């Protein structure tokens, strides 16, 4: 049911976005032939727009990670009254030039949710070791979160690793469920939500207890997946995989696709 809903929403949003562009081009007298590269507008390259409706044809994954990092850092800096840049660092490595044709809103949602967890538990584990005090956070040293990007001809992978203490076996068993005993406490947060959107929205700092299951639905919608491995008392490694083009059924036909 969720997949059908995402599907309908994606098609409707794409249709609206394309219609808006079409109407704007019509009004300004622009057509396919007279596109020109404009350095002021980097979403246009090689005489072709990089964003077609809602689809980004060359979405720079490192940039998306950077954007989510800034959002997540500012949430936790505000929550714990940390000075700017005093929250855990996020180190992006691997193939930092990798790009993907995708709906950036969905990829952003997935990366944001996983990074938010990593940041939350990296801070929480240090606080716990220091007696749970919220004072003098400035003196605390946080382990960095590592985000590694890699790609093959057919798949793009992102690994997000933290040292936030891992997930307890009780929670891990229920990780992909929408409702569990552990998640009941988040139900009240639903009252604070004005609107649920298929993107990182205003209510970004709220925990609803289904960040990971929803991220999995979005990843699967595009033929990808997300897997989470926990090393108890140490940390978590989350692996996001996304097909470069099409879903898993279509991918074998892309053997000749060069990066
Ligand atoms: N990186 C992590 N480190 C420690 N615990 C985690 C991590 N990621 C997820 N968890 C655990 O899994 C639970 C479910 O995560 P999630 O689906 O994102 O929901 P939420 O963050 O809203 O609780 C969290 O409440 C937390 O207990
Ligand atoms: Mg979460």
Averaged pLDDT, 185-209:
63
- In this structure, the chain runs to a length of 259
Asked whether 208 lines ligand 1 (CB < 6 A), one says: yes
pLDDT tens digits, residue range 206-247? 666 778 999 999 999 889 999 999 999 999 999 999 998 665
Tokens for 45, please give them: 């390259």
Residue nearest to atom 5 of ligand 1 (CA): 167
- By the 8 A CB rule, do 176 and 216 touch? yes
* Confidence tier at 197 by pLDDT (50, 70, 90): low
Residue 37: per-residue pLDDT? 45
Q: pTM (2 decimals)?
A: 0.81
Tokens for 174, please give them: 């229920």
Of the candidate ranges 12-16, 68-72, 100-104, 199-203, the one whose mean pLDDT is the lowest? 199-203
Asked whether 223 lines ligand 1 (CB < 6 A), one says: no
* Confidence tier at 193 by pLDDT (50, 70, 90): low
Choice between 24 and 46, residue whose per-residue pLDDT is larger? 24
How far is it, in rounded angstroms, from Cα 108 to Cα 198?
Answer: 10
Question: Is the pLDDT assigned to residue 39 strictly greater than 70?
Answer: no
pLDDT tens digits, residue range 83-98? 888 899 999 999 999 9
Q: Tell me the sheet residues that pair with 100.
A: 59
Test site for ligand 1: of 212, 228, 235, most ligand atoms within 8 A of the Cβ: 212
Residues with CB under 5 A from ligand 2 (ion): 117, 211
Coil, strand, or helix at residue 258? coil
Asked whether 221 lines ligand 1 (CB < 6 A), one says: no
Q: Which residues contact 247 (CB under 8 A, 6 or more apart)?
A: 222, 223
Residue 121: per-residue pLDDT? 95
């Amino acid at each position: 049911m969720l997949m059908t809903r995402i599907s309908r929403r994606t098609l409707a949003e794409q249709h609206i976005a394309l219609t808006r562009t079409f109407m704007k081009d019509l009004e300004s007298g622009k057509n396919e032939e007279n596109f020109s590269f404009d350095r002021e507008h980097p979403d246009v390259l090689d005489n072709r727009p990089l964003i077609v409706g809602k689809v980004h044809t060359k979405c720079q994954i490192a940039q998306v990670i950077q954007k989510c990092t800034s959002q997540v850092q500012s949430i936790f800096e505000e929550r714990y009254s940390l000075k700017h840049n005093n929250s855990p660092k996020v180190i992006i490595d691997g193939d930092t030039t990798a790009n993907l044709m995708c709906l950036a809103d969905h990829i952003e949602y997935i990366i944001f949710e996983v990074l938010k967890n990593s940041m939350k538990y990296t801070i929480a584990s240090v606080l716990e070791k220091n007696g749970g005090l919220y004072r003098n956070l400035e003196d605390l040293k946080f382990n960095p979160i590592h985000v590694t990007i890699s790609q093959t001809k057919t798949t793009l992978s992102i690994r997000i690793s933290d040292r936030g203490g891992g997930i307890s076996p009780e929670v891990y068993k229920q990780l992909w469920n929408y409702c569990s005993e552990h998640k009941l406490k988040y139900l009240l947060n639903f009252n604070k939500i004005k609107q649920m959107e298929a993107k990182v929205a205003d209510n970004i700092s709220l925990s609803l207890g289904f960040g990971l299951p929803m991220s999995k639905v979005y990843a699967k919608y595009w033929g990808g997946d997300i897997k989470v491995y926990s090393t108890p008392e140490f940390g978590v490694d989350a692996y996001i995989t996304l097909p470069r083009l099409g879903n898993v059924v279509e991918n074998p036909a892309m053997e000749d696709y060069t990066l």
